[in-house]
Structure 1
Amino acid sequence: MNSKIIIASGPVIVENNQVLLNQHGDTDFWKFCGGQVKEEEKLLDTAKRRSKEEMGIEIEILDENPFITYTTKETPEGKLDVILVHFLAKRIGEIKPGEDIREWKWFELNNLPPDLGPNILPALKHFRFLK
């Protein structure tokens, strides 16, 4: 039986008042890099692994105290609980998106798109990039 709870981890990367977001997976909204924590994997390691897989970059964690939020996801098997864990991070290297990334972009913090994941604004507020 599959777990009805997903724990995902990823970085929040902001440079020059722009946030790095991408579109991947089975949703159409803009989101941070990140993905499901593998069994026995640490949250920080997941954030680093997914940054490399999705955007081809290394990251430096700037704050090991994460922002944690909860949402749900509808699947053919039913509703899943999703716990999202985000660490403030700095990008190291040039972006080379992975093949599962449909689109990526640096968005001005004062001009974010309307189709954001439910965790984007709360995370940006938590790390004091937005009021």
Structure 2
Amino acid sequence: MNFIIASGSVIIENNKVLLNKHGKDNFWKFVGGRVEDSDFEDEIMSLENTCRRRVKEEMGFDVEIIRTLKPMMVKHQTKENTQVILIHFLSKRLGEINPGADIREWNWFDINNLPDDCAPNIGPVVEDYLRTKVLNDKQ
């Protein structure tokens, strides 16, 4: 079994989540991607570094990481015998959207009405956000 570790930013504003399609993928994803060697310059913060780097590369702005959301493991879409470990960070957008060259589409989607062609982690992570938001609002 092979593993890929990926880190993604979950950016929600006004009950809408920012998703994009990039590269060869034909499904909506959170902004983010795999951990690369350069992310280990500060080993303690490498997943956060990956998240920040990928947001800057893909969407052209910085983020403030607020907290971790649901971690997941899913089968890789094209590589057999490979699992992708996904670490999600609820993040605040700092700046204007200026998508990178490999971003084919991006859009804000209502968190209660996500498109059908989302990556398998989108629904469960948004549900986790909504559940924990309700719990936090009650406190």
> When the two structures are superposed, what TM-score results if normalisation uses the length of structure 1?
0.88
Post-superposition, which runs of at least 4 consecutive aligned residues in structure 1 deviate over 2 A? none
Q: Number of aligned residue pairs: give it.
A: 127
Aligned to 1:94: 96
- The 2-side partners of 1:60 and 1:67 are apart by 18
What residue number does 1:114 align with?
116
**Equivalent position to 2:72, from 69, 72, 77:** 69
**1:66 Cα offset (Å):** 3.9
Given residue 102 of structure 2, which amino acid in structure 1 is its aligned partner?
A: D
Q: Kindly report the root-mean-square deviation, in angstroms, between the aligned alpha carbons of the 2 structures.
A: 1.9
Please say which of residues 26-35 and 45-54 is displaced more in the overlay.
26-35
TM-score where L is the length of structure 2: 0.84
Greater share of residues in helix? 2
Q: What percentage of aligned pairs have identical amino acids?
A: 51
Which of 22, 32, 35 is the aligned partner of 1:34? Answer: 32
More strand by share: 1
Superposed CA deviations along residues 17-45 of structure 1, whole A, max 9, x for unmatched, are 10000001332110000011013260000
- CA contact 2:69–2:129 (8 Å) conserved in 1: no
